Amino acid sequence: MQKKVLVTAGPTREAIDPVRYISNKSSGKTGYAIANEFVLQGASVRLVSGPVSVEKPALVEIIDVETAEQMKKAIFENYEWADIVIMAAAVADFKPKLAAKQKIKKSSELTIELEKTSDILEELGKNKKHQRLVGFALETENLLENAEKKLKEKNLDLVIANNEKAINSKKADFVFVDNSGTEELKSISKEELAKKIAKRFL
């Protein structure tokens, strides 16, 4: 039976005014590599993508979004459909409390008040039925400890942990963390990582 896989990729953008936004360094390449690999393995794949400059994989249904709220909506609209959900997107943790309607003029000082965005992964974990749920944990310290905490607190089946060196690099170290233990993957490409993930679930 063909597996149905929902993947997220890229950053989100949270508006400060009509021309400025808060975002992050995510390229989307990891999520796109994962989507591509699952298609090659015969799965039906939907990809919810933030704004990226990555070649679109063939045979993948792409849902383009910009903000964290749009990403959340698209994910939940496709959650029931999915057998496997892989949250590779770097969703903004914060957004401006109020976005200006007009371009903010340059001044000596500007203070922007931020508020938290929804924790999409936590909500997916709470609403999980038949799905296998995979999250990423980018940590600058206490990598394993934080990944194990995320696995339990968010009701995940697998956490893929890495550090900031993985951002926009061709090869990086990753750790797979699940309820049976950990598996370290040293200096692998995004394509090799995608193959390892697909092998676990197909």
**Residues taking part in catalysis:** 24
Letter string b/e over residues 164-192, b meaning 16 or more CB atoms within 10 A of that residue's CB: eebeeeeebebbbbbeeeeeeeeeeebee
**Nearest residue to 34 (alpha-carbon basis) of 60, 11, 52:** 60
The CA-based diameter of the chain, rounded to the nearest angstrom, is 61
**Which distant-in-sequence residues (6+ apart) come within 8 Å of 11 by Cβ?**
23, 24, 25, 26, 28, 50, 51, 52, 89, 90, 91, 92
Give the C-alpha distances (Å, rounded to integers) separating 180 from 4, 83, 148, 151.
24, 21, 11, 11
Q: Say how far residue 44 (Cα) sits from the centre of its chain.
A: 19
- Distance between CA atoms of 13 and 167, rounded to whole angstroms? 17
Bridge partners (DSSP) listed for residue 90:
11
